[in-house]
Amino acid sequence: MKKLAQPIILLILLIITTSCNNNSNEVVVYTSVDQIFSEPILKEFEKKTGIRVKAVYDTEETKSTGVLNRLIAEKENPQCDLFWSGDPVRTIVLKNRGITLPYQSTIAKDINVIFKDSEYHWTGFSARARVLIYNKNLLKGADVPKSIFDLTKKEHKGKVAIANPLFGTTTFHMAALFTAIGDEKAKQFLTDLKKNDIVIATSNGDVKKRVIQGEVSCGLTDTDDAYEAIKEGANIGIVFLDQQGIGSLIMPNTVNLIKNSRNLENGKKLMDYLLSKETEAKLAKSCAQMPLHKGVKIPNNIPSLDNIIPMKIEYGKTSQKLEEIQNYLKEWIEN
């Protein structure tokens, strides 16, 4: 027994030593933004401020199961100081569950109020848009859809892909559509899509892949996926849909503080950094995100929000609509 006692004691000491992390010069961030884009920004913050960033990454490919469920499960004893989300939906879920803490950042003063929560539980920055991507070998000129409603036309039967509408930005897109055109028309549109044999992919990344490979001729995805594909040399085109009609859905990244977090001050510093023009410029360069601040230098190939007709929605109300239509969407997929 004595021989066994030594390694057991050593193991316990090792565990206790590794768990001593009462370091106040740190900030814990959970993010659903793809690690390949979010990590360099967080590293830069670390370098500039000397505050150690401890991150938990997740991805839209996994529907952000990890971070969001973790934040909900940790509600009573939060480990996270700040949540950086790729879209407003997840943040609003947290707000509705009383997990967020209001903070009005002065850095975000010039960001349009429509991209902020009315009580400052979250603030938006760098936005993506929902776009249509098409395979240039399969669709040309007038054949390329200009409106989301064109996707129900016979010539596109079985040739259009969207990601599973129960998750991620596609859910939000559907909720926005219901808000913009009303429940009845939106349901009719989805029924027509189903009749037109729409392909339901597992994620936006999967939509991108299917379009590039030519399995389908076009699909709905986000601007970052679309520009990433072009950067990789894919022969695809991008269309901002419904510029003569209801407009394209614009989805900002959002950031919020977590209620009862341990490093509140550092959390605020990181939130200010994420909301800065500097971060927006970096995200524009790395993943084609469109700045919400005025006067941010962006690469020439990145579109400006000034040139896009946005879908006129309120993010809070759209999130509420999302909760209402989720059961309908589940049935739509399954039947």
Q: Which residues bind another protein (CB under 8 A)?
A: 1, 4, 11, 15-16, 18-21, 26, 28-30, 34-37, 52-66, 68-70, 72-74, 76-77, 79-80, 93, 166-167, 171, 200-203, 205, 209, 213, 215, 224-225, 228, 231-232, 287, 326, 330, 334
- Min dist CB 4 to another protein, Å, is 7
Q: How far is CA 51 from CA 12, 17, 86, in A?
A: 29, 21, 23
Cα separation, 319 vs 58, in Å, equals: 21
Are 203 and 60 contacting, i.e. CB atoms less than 8 angstroms apart? yes
- Given the complex with another protein, which of 112 and 213 has the nearer CB atom? 213
Least distance (Å) between residue 273 CB and another protein: 17
* Cβ distance to another protein smaller for residue 107 or 288: 288
Distance (Å, rounded) from C-alpha 61 to C-alpha 23?
32
Q: Toward another protein, which CB reaches closer, 76 or 306?
A: 76
Q: Which is nearer to another protein, 1 or 142 (CB)?
A: 1
Closest CB to another protein among residues 53, 284: 53
β-partners of residue 256 are 83
- The distance of closest approach from Cβ of residue 162 to another protein in the complex, given in angstroms and rounded to an integer, is 12
Q: Output the smallest distance, CB 179 to another protein, in A.
A: 19
**Judged by CB, which is closer to another protein: 36, or 314?**
36
DSSP secondary structure string, 132-189? EEEETTT--GGGS--SGGGGGSGGGTT-EEEE-TTSHHHHHHHHHHHHHH-HHHHHHH
Write the CB contacts of 35 (distance below 8 Å, at least 6 apart in sequence).
57, 59
* Cβ at position 225, least distance to another protein in Å: 7
| Least Cβ distance, residue 309 to another protein (angstroms) | 26
Question: Which neighbouring-strand residues pair with 237?
Answer: 134
Bridge-based pairing state of the strands 100-101 and 250-258: antiparallel
Cα–Cα distance, 277 to 291 (Å, whole number):
8
What's the token pair of residue 11? 């193991």
